[in-house]
Structure 1
């Protein structure tokens, strides 16, 4: 079933599942790979050699390396300098569909400046290669005598292990593959390997700057106009200038930072005097280790502390720290009760608080198989032809995964499987496809960037439990020329629920941790903290090997709040779509009382008199109708998780000027005077907030619409069952009792109200929206 609201080229298609392809020969596959598409590989493990003969005329020790030939496919080990007993411990994986031979040729050579010397070879018949599939034990390597090309035994032996296996083999991630045949450099090979990353645990650091005492200004003839500057890594925040202009200033102002574990960088506070418009003088500094800061998990108050300031004096070119009587009064703590947002909460992959002590039990496991892609567009030119070096990045919670890079292919096949623990069903997994731009040089710090080729968002709650989805998603990217289809990606997705009751209980819980409601952050703080969190994650993942580069992390986290005419139009029409049903009801009612359809009008009169004579039937009949409507809509439920909808996003017909404005940088890069740029950037910033507000309004309306749409099967099941129960309860309960209970509940004293959202409100906030389907 396809989404009829999209163009034909941008629809999601269901592909064939590979559940029945669970065997290779007579060997049953492991349960951990029981639903992923199988691909057979020939593994050749070149372990080491001994007693190699020195062949060069110099008589020095040899520099041996090994070549593994399977038909036209060749893999090469690194060379070991000056060793007759080298150890390589390298594994080569040859895809079955690339093999066009019946023999394996492993040749040992001595690396030489002019011509490499032949030292011997081992020929291995493919007919005798054993089959292996986990959980079988690894194949034991054996020693083989080296021979010349005529079959004569030579001095020296080579230790090998050869077997048939699949991608579930434990050596698969680190093995050399036939897809890497054009990659030779060690750094580039490392960049082509699949890896699992963990984003750092993020904390909110709250610094309440209260006051300072006994400041010593440089100019004693004036009172200092002081403010506090706080620096944590790449983050710099300042308080306002104290309204109490004296040597004992007061602020009582909060500064919020994002701190990442491990806490390698201290918090640096400096009190500065605004001596001149462009000149500030430091009156004192202090450094605070975050390891010594209190951690708060709830709303309990944190004790204040005084910190003595240090003054930096320059003496004979050396910097000396001098303690003096000035000090600063702070209340500082690491907030563990918040969820540190590094992506939009509308399609977040993690809603847990920072502190692990506040986590709930997991409700299941999400399994994702990244199979292949086809129809990819060439992203660069190599040897006069277009090519793409594609890899995928998937993100859920703190766990990021990166598939291996398929070199020089427009139809890459990854066939990799990953699992994540699920703590909340109302979360998204995000899968992005990129072109590796620095594979050949292995350059990390070059100007080339990994080009985005599209991404997919899948909401866990939209998946039926234990059902295997095998969709083919189009990869869509917005360019200055319009939306462009970069290809399609094939996935296999399954959500295995460990406790259905726990999952149902989650719908009654607040979407965010408790402190977001008891001590809420402002909208401005949330936007700012989210950007800092994204920067912290980007910096930390950029230090990994191989790194996840900044442009990849930013695209996966989707940090964009600037003005876009297209998105604003899309949000406006989302609101209109929600209100259209009420407008249609109004038009229908006008037709009724205008007697344009006499039969319908007479039926409404009859129903009206029944409602007047039997008012107790109104509420139960309404709930029964909603329940039956939900059951009727079950047949129209989506058959696959929703995807990017170009028509919903208004990306199918956009004016070029609007695209140029959307793709412009922020601040703008357009030529013009300073005033024009300032006003234009200010307009875009304000419009971006209005755009977000319109999106929030549309989101609330879509949540109400999704109650009976079966987009979230668990939520619709809960609502339908509730309507059925409510219908029977209201039939048996006097009408006035219900009205009295509702009135007393609504008008109850605030003392009897909880600061946390009510169960119905929590349920509504967890309902799905169409935000995840927007570009």
Structure 2
């Protein structure tokens, strides 16, 4: 409903985890202690023997069917195998079971035999116990009499989601999914490939065969790795020995499959390209640079030389001098700089010591919005993805539920506290053929980010986080996800070293820093590589999921983000404005007692300047002690409170280049000009202040500079010979805070003097 207020706040929960209810102060140490215990009935169908498979039509494809209440699960088929081996595990959530007996049928066109088991007689086998041993069961007919031939080996037990077979089992939550789509419902752990920065420093070429004499060649070097193409500028040397000394940087992933292809090209007058040579460098042969030392330059033969479109075959080769290295001292950005989950360099030899362990319990979600229509009704097939460092995790898919329960727990090694854990929820659109419609992508339901440095050590946080999605019609709340998070510190000494001695980024980022343009371009390459690599896994982690988790969307202008950043700046600088208001109250003697106290303290500080630093430190200690009672007790979360208009959202979701009509673009351009005009005005005011300070000394005004010079000489003599510095400071302070009865000038002499200083604003046309 339009105008409805959305609740963006966190809600603390008390889930039944660790065998008892927790309040956030209890330390738990057992496995799977951050999720609620879910009881499952596991059925392992191993194999069959001596099955009577003779049928009149000759069909022999035995399979096993399990029936519990309304649930039915079947194994895969085997053709012409009387001794079939399935070795499949099925899990049924106990809270959803409706029957008291389980019927297992062995079918080959018709039912060969069955096994009936009472669920009350099934044993419980909890981890860390070893798996329950399988045993042979004789097949019976409908009357409970042995069929005389055929046996089935199986194991049946009760356990929890901590069982080692849980991740590979067929789940009753996905009972409607079958075939190849069944693998998409399983929970998996993924690892990002190891990424390197490939630096190609093109220095110079030698003895190029240009072909056309009497013209100034426009030679440049083109580098190709996979589907990424980079090129240098055209060399300013118009001869056969051009020079560049330019860096081209790529992101490459292990194992190195695509080679580095270097091509030297000449751009002719009619914009045609003439290939002057090419060399292929395999990345496995490239040196890995770990220290901040330049790689050794090498000469490479340009073996493929073309002349008039015909390959030239002789023993003369042009050469290209380059430094090619795999820079392992950098951290390869795949996430935003401010939302990184890992800042380690590529080379493992340069990693710092691990400082702790991050544990995440993904408990459940509630109130999810319908994401698609199946069989005439709205539904959602939700799964959760969490990303920290190079490790990704994906929960199982809970089919057809707006309140899915996962209760899965995962752990990560932590190397830096200033890192971000990202959790996202998605709707699986690849479970049924009818679901894969439109673009066939898994839409996002929401995302949660948690900063580890805001968490207390060894404390369990159990909160329900709101799921927010920005859509063209505004911010939409799509549900809640309940999480349990714990950051356990294993070494306080290493944690102290991280905060004090180790920089956030590896030293290579400070010794040879990358430009903003390079970081942005390389991050796009890294995201493309991760999307391509993780989408080839089984089950695949799809490209749209990876891009959403990495914030790989557009970086175009957003008025909403501009307003949010401006509000952040105002909130940060609020302390300065509050101090100015407080000083104005002191100057105006609104509280005479406070003003007299401030004057007294000021005089004491002037007379005893050695007390300034201890006083500032003690005041900071006092402020920190008082703020301890107001410290935030919850993890970081999204707070969306700024009003956003429909046109601003439409502009943010517009394509690039824009697809809107000319009148809409004209209106947005005029609005941008208005905002930019105010920004330019503020920048001009700042420049005016800086130039006025500079004008005190540059004699731009032939009257003000001599006046300032005379004042400086007289003031220095008086401070040295007549008046001490303490007396002068006390006089200035008391004069600034003098009572209103003594008179208040609108502008005093220094302000009058400073306001008339010349600036370069006159130079602007």
Q: TM-score range by the shorter chain?
A: 0.7 to 0.9
Aligned to 1:288: 281
Aligned to 2:7: 9
Question: Per the alignment, in what secondary structure is the counterpart of residue 469 of structure 1?
Answer: strand
CA RMSD, 1 decimal: 2.7
**Alpha-carbon offset, residue 635 of structure 1:** 1.3
Is 1:90 aligned to residue 79 of structure 2? no
Aligned to 1:487: 479
Whether the aligned pair in 2 keeps the contact of 1:310 and 1:321 (CA below 8 Å) is: no
**Alpha-carbon offset, residue 102 of structure 1:** 1.2
Aligned to 2:626: 632
**Equivalent-residue separation in structure 2 for 1:543 and 1:149 (angstroms):** 47
* Among 246, 249, 254, the residue aligned to 1:253: 246
Q: Deviations over 1:380-411 (max 9, x none)?
A: 00111111111111110100111111111111
Q: Deviations over 1:288-337 (max 9, x none)?
A: 0011111111111211111111227799x999987741111111111011
Whether the aligned pair in 2 keeps the contact of 1:191 and 1:442 (CA below 8 Å) is: no
Aligned to 1:192: 185
Question: Per the alignment, in what secondary structure is the counterpart of residue 170 of structure 1?
Answer: coil
Aligned to 2:324: 332
Is 1:620 aligned to residue 600 of structure 2? no
**Alpha-carbon offset, residue 251 of structure 1:** 0.8
Q: Deviations over 1:693-736 (max 9, x none)?
A: x9xxxxxxxxxxxxxxxxxxxxxxxxxxxxxxxxxxxxxxxxxx
1:139-178 correspondence to structure 2 within 5 Å: 139-154=132-147, 155-178=149-172
Whether the aligned pair in 2 keeps the contact of 1:22 and 1:34 (CA below 8 Å) is: no
Is 1:44 aligned to residue 43 of structure 2? yes
**Alpha-carbon offset, residue 8 of structure 1:** 5.6
* Among 451, 457, 463, the residue aligned to 2:449: 457
Aligned to 2:735: none
Whether the aligned pair in 1 keeps the contact of 2:220 and 2:235 (CA below 8 Å) is: yes
Whether the aligned pair in 2 keeps the contact of 1:391 and 1:405 (CA below 8 Å) is: yes
Structure 1: segments with no counterpart, 5+ residues: 1-5, 24-28, 111-115, 695-775
**Alpha-carbon offset, residue 436 of structure 1:** 1.2
1:446 and 1:664, CA in 2 relative to 1: closer, same or farther beyond 3 A? closer
1:573 and 1:30, CA in 2 relative to 1: closer, same or farther beyond 3 A? closer
Is 1:64 aligned to residue 86 of structure 2? no
Whether the aligned pair in 2 keeps the contact of 1:339 and 1:352 (CA below 8 Å) is: yes
**Alpha-carbon offset, residue 574 of structure 1:** 0.9
Aligned to 1:380: 372
**Equivalent-residue separation in structure 2 for 1:322 and 1:95 (angstroms):** 74
**Alpha-carbon offset, residue 440 of structure 1:** 1.1
Whether the aligned pair in 1 keeps the contact of 2:290 and 2:327 (CA below 8 Å) is: yes
**Equivalent-residue separation in structure 2 for 1:16 and 1:205 (angstroms):** 49
**Alpha-carbon offset, residue 197 of structure 1:** 0.7
**Equivalent-residue separation in structure 2 for 1:108 and 1:444 (angstroms):** 33
1:278-427 correspondence to structure 2 within 5 Å: 278-311=271-304, 324-427=316-419
* Among 646, 649, 659, the residue aligned to 2:649: 659
**Equivalent-residue separation in structure 2 for 1:455 and 1:423 (angstroms):** 23
Aligned to 1:434: 426
**Alpha-carbon offset, residue 562 of structure 1:** 1.2
**Alpha-carbon offset, residue 535 of structure 1:** 1.2
Q: Deviations over 1:712-767 (max 9, x none)?
A: xxxxxxxxxxxxxxxxxxxxxxxxxxxxxxxxxxxxxxxxxxxxxxxxxxxxxxxx
Is 1:641 aligned to residue 603 of structure 2? no
1:341-740 correspondence to structure 2 within 5 Å: 341-441=333-433, 447-508=439-500, 509-559=502-552, 560-647=554-641, 650=642, 653-670=643-660
**Equivalent-residue separation in structure 2 for 1:548 and 1:446 (angstroms):** 19
1:594 and 1:193, CA in 2 relative to 1: closer, same or farther beyond 3 A? same
**Alpha-carbon offset, residue 668 of structure 1:** 2.8
Aligned to 1:773: none
Question: Per the alignment, in what secondary structure is the counterpart of residue 74 of structure 1?
Answer: strand
**Equivalent-residue separation in structure 2 for 1:324 and 1:442 (angstroms):** 63
Aligned to 2:194: 201
Is 1:211 aligned to residue 201 of structure 2? no
1:670 and 1:243, CA in 2 relative to 1: closer, same or farther beyond 3 A? same
Q: Deviations over 1:348-370 (max 9, x none)?
A: 00000110000011001000011
1:546 and 1:447, CA in 2 relative to 1: closer, same or farther beyond 3 A? same
**Alpha-carbon offset, residue 22 of structure 1:** 6.3
**Equivalent-residue separation in structure 2 for 1:556 and 1:248 (angstroms):** 47
Question: Per the alignment, in what secondary structure is the counterpart of residue 32 of structure 1?
Answer: coil
**Alpha-carbon offset, residue 502 of structure 1:** 1.1
**Equivalent-residue separation in structure 2 for 1:661 and 1:183 (angstroms):** 40
**Alpha-carbon offset, residue 615 of structure 1:** 2.8
Whether the aligned pair in 1 keeps the contact of 2:341 and 2:389 (CA below 8 Å) is: yes
**Equivalent-residue separation in structure 1 for 2:225 and 2:315 (angstroms):** 22
Whether the aligned pair in 1 keeps the contact of 2:34 and 2:485 (CA below 8 Å) is: no
Whether the aligned pair in 2 keeps the contact of 1:260 and 1:536 (CA below 8 Å) is: yes
* Among 228, 240, 244, the residue aligned to 1:235: 228
* Among 78, 81, 95, the residue aligned to 2:79: 81
1:110-125 correspondence to structure 2 within 5 Å: 110=108, 116-125=109-118
Question: Per the alignment, in what secondary structure is the counterpart of residue 31 of structure 1?
Answer: coil
**Equivalent-residue separation in structure 2 for 1:462 and 1:577 (angstroms):** 19
**Equivalent-residue separation in structure 1 for 2:510 and 2:376 (angstroms):** 59
Whether the aligned pair in 2 keeps the contact of 1:223 and 1:247 (CA below 8 Å) is: no
Deviates most, 564-573 or 619-628: 619-628
1:409 and 1:445, CA in 2 relative to 1: closer, same or farther beyond 3 A? closer
**Alpha-carbon offset, residue 376 of structure 1:** 0.3
**Alpha-carbon offset, residue 438 of structure 1:** 1.9
Structure 2: segments with no counterpart, 5+ residues: 22-27, 684-765
Bigger Rg, which one:
2
**Equivalent-residue separation in structure 1 for 2:316 and 2:278 (angstroms):** 11
**Equivalent-residue separation in structure 1 for 2:659 and 2:272 (angstroms):** 29
**Equivalent-residue separation in structure 2 for 1:319 and 1:477 (angstroms):** 57
* Among 15, 18, 21, the residue aligned to 2:19: 21
Question: Per the alignment, in what secondary structure is the counterpart of residue 587 of structure 1?
Answer: helix
1:30 and 1:513, CA in 2 relative to 1: closer, same or farther beyond 3 A? closer
Whether the aligned pair in 1 keeps the contact of 2:18 and 2:32 (CA below 8 Å) is: no
